[in-house]
Structure formats: structure tokens, C-alpha cells
Amino acid sequence: GDSVTQMEGPVTLSEEAFLTINCTYTATGYPSLFWYVQYPGEGLQLLLKATKADDKGSNKGFEATYRKETTSFHLEKGSVQVSDSAVYFCALSDQVSEKLVFGKGTKLTVNP
Amino acid sequence: KAGVTQTPRYLIKTRGQQVTLSCSPISGHRSVSWYQQTPGQGLQFLFEYFSETQRNKGNFPGRFSGRQFSNSRSEMNVSTLELGDSALYLCASRENYGYTFGSGTRLTVV
């Protein structure tokens, strides 16, 4: 079945550091890809998405490009802030059922 | 537009009891999905309802059930609760590849 693998955390960075969280997927067909963020005590918020190969999703300084050849959707941000501290989930939407399949999540802590 | 509303936010139940959780989707959204989040298993798909019909179901035992009403509000029910059912239950409403999640219901089974 479909699956998502993302780098395990936790990841600890200093403010203004560069962030990369790796995500790869296995799926039949052409899934849509997402990054969600979860702040403590809250639900999931959509951070960005890409629906086809070579699409780049971006939001709040975060970017990810849908790479079909490497089945990857790595999350990047050039300069992280303390307020970016959260858990980040990579996910795909199955092309047939459209349910979301999530990675295990990566906890990011940004220190001032 | 109001977001996805889940009630209650927190719930404590005893093993063997049953529980009902509620989700009101964004106005106009007809699809509602439920997910279970635990530290060990992560986020797992429970089921999806569309226009009052269950469209997809995940790999959960029959103790987990749900329904959707004509106004798109959805409920999920867990019977004969087990300690392992302690989790954050998230509801999402969807339209055109956009999933919007509620804040979740934190269920603790003691």
C-alpha cells in the first residue's frame, strides 16, 4: 500500500538556521503531496501542497517540490524562527480513495 | 467561514464504556474524515463519509463506527473502550484536495 517516510527527529536548530526535513513516498499512480504542521495541543494545519510532478508548494517561507523521479517532497525553509517550533507531517493523498496517508512526523525545536 | 468544530475537546472514559465524538465540517463541505493519532502508531485513517454514506474505511475493529447526518455533521462512536483507544481523534472536512482539520478530541481511557 501507499506509504510516507520522513526523517525522524527531533530536530533542533538555532534561529535563522536553514531547515530541511526529508520526505519520500511510495504510491501507485500520481498522488497529491502535503505538508501539515501541528502546534502543541492543536490539530493539523495545512502548510503547503503540490498536486503534480514538478509543482512547488510554498507558504510562510516554507517550500517543497514534488519530485516524481526521486519520489520525494522535502520541506525547506531558509531561515527558521522560534515560532516555527512544531511537529511537521508529510502526507500523500491516495489517488483512488483520496484518504491521507501520513509520515510519522518530525518534531522541530528552534532556539533563540 | 467557520472552521471544523470538534466536541468535546477532552474526554475521560472508563474501560468498557462507549463514547461518541462529534464533528461539524466547514459549511458546504460534504466530506468528513476521521483520523486517530497516537504516539506509537502516528496518524491513522479511520473512515470517510460523503453525503451521509461511508465511502472509505481504515483498518480498525468494528468497535469503531461513524455516521453522517443530512447537514454533514458527523459522529464517531467507539464501543467497549480499551486502554489502547486513548488518542487524539481528528476530524477533517474536505473539498477539492483541501483538507481542513479540527482541533481534535483528546480521549483518555482509564
Q: What is the pLDDT of residues B30-74, one digit of tens each?
A: 999 999 999 989 999 999 999 999 999 999 999 999 999 999 999
User: Tell me, what's the pLDDT at A68?
Assistant: 93
What distance in Å separates the CA atoms of residue B99 and residue A29, rounded to the nearest whole number? 20
- Integer Cα distance of B35 and B37 in angstroms: 7
pLDDT of residue B9: 96
A49–B56 C-beta distance less than 8 A: no
Asked if A32 and B90 come within 8 Å (Cβ–Cβ), the reply is no
- A32–B97 CB contact, under 8 Å: yes
Interchain pair A89, B100: CB under 8 A: no
CA distance A52 to A71: 12
Query: Within 13 A of A54's CA, how many CA atoms are on the CB side?
Result: 0
pLDDT at B72: 94
Give per-residue pLDDT as tens, B69-88: 999 999 999 999 999 999 99
Q: Chain B residue with minimal CA distance to A44? A: B101
Residue showing cell 477533517: B92
Mutation for A interface: B34, B90, B99, B106, most A CBs within 10 A:
B99
Cβ pairs bridging A and B (under 8 Å)? 49
Contact A66, A27 (CB under 8 A): no
Region at A69 (left for phi over 0; alpha for psi -120 to 50; beta for the rest)? alpha
Question: Which residues in chain B have Cβ-Cβ distances shorter than 8 Å to A97?
Answer: 48, 55-56
pLDDT band at residue B6 under the 50/70/90 scheme: very high
Q: Is the pLDDT of residue A97 over 90?
A: no
Of A23, A42, A5, A18, the closest CA to residue B3 belongs to: A42
Distance from CA of A97 to the nearest CA of B (A): 7
CA distance A43 to chain B (A): 4
Does A73 score more than 70 pLDDT?
yes
Of A43, A51, A104, the CB nearest to B42: A104
B45–A104 CB contact, under 8 Å: no
- Is there a contact between A98 and B100 if contact means CB atoms under 8 Å apart? no
- CA distances, B92 to each of B25, B52, B57, B75, B85 (Å): 7, 15, 14, 12, 19
